[in-house]
Amino acid sequence: MGAKAWNLARAARWGFLAPAGVAVSVSDYRSLMAHQRVASLVRVVGEIDPEGLSAPETEAQLLRLREQIAAVEFSETDRAALRGALQAAGLFGSRLAVRSSATGEDGAEQAFAGIHDSVLDVRDFDAVLAAIRHCQASLWTPQAVAYRRRFAIERRRSGP
């Protein structure tokens, strides 16, 4: 669970008004990163010189990676778990905001505000799935990769 989700849950537990929410397991992201087409593109991106992240060919590689991420289907197990979590929270069929909440985000040494995408006014289950993939793909923009490299985040933990 990322910092945003953790802090919202903590605020609600302490009696503060906080919106209902559901957190997607990091295991889904790990499965996504292990997907053959995604993993091969991530390896290519990992070999790019940090100074070359804004080069047109690098931006094209990152765009291909984001497109591959968006195209990966959720497993039936993950779909069922997300559907059940949304139903249990009373959110299934509601208008939702889908946001990134990566581990290590907004820590004492760095803040990811504005680096990853959010998707607002998401209305149906398939749109929720697409919005999740969109947010996950936004971890692979030139700006997001450069920011993580600046703070050596990729070398400190297994995730992005």
Residue burial 116-148, b: 16+ Cβ < 10 Å; e: rest: bbebeebeeeeebbebbbbbbbbbbbbebbebb
Neighbours of 91 (CB within 10 A): 16
Residues pairing with 98 in the sheet: 119
Q: Which two three-digit tokens encode residue 95?
A: 């208008």
User: Higher confidence at residue 100 or residue 15?
Assistant: 15
pLDDT digits (tens, 9 = 90+) for 17-69: 988 889 888 888 889 999 999 999 998 888 887 777 778 888 899 999 999 99
Task: Look up the CATH architecture of domain 3-156.
Answer: 2-Layer Sandwich (3.30)
pLDDT digits (tens, 9 = 90+) for 99-147: 886 666 666 666 777 788 999 999 999 999 999 999 999 999 988 888 8
pLDDT, mean of residues 6-10:
83
Please state the domain extents for the chain: 3-156
Residue 91, classed as helix, strand or coil, is coil
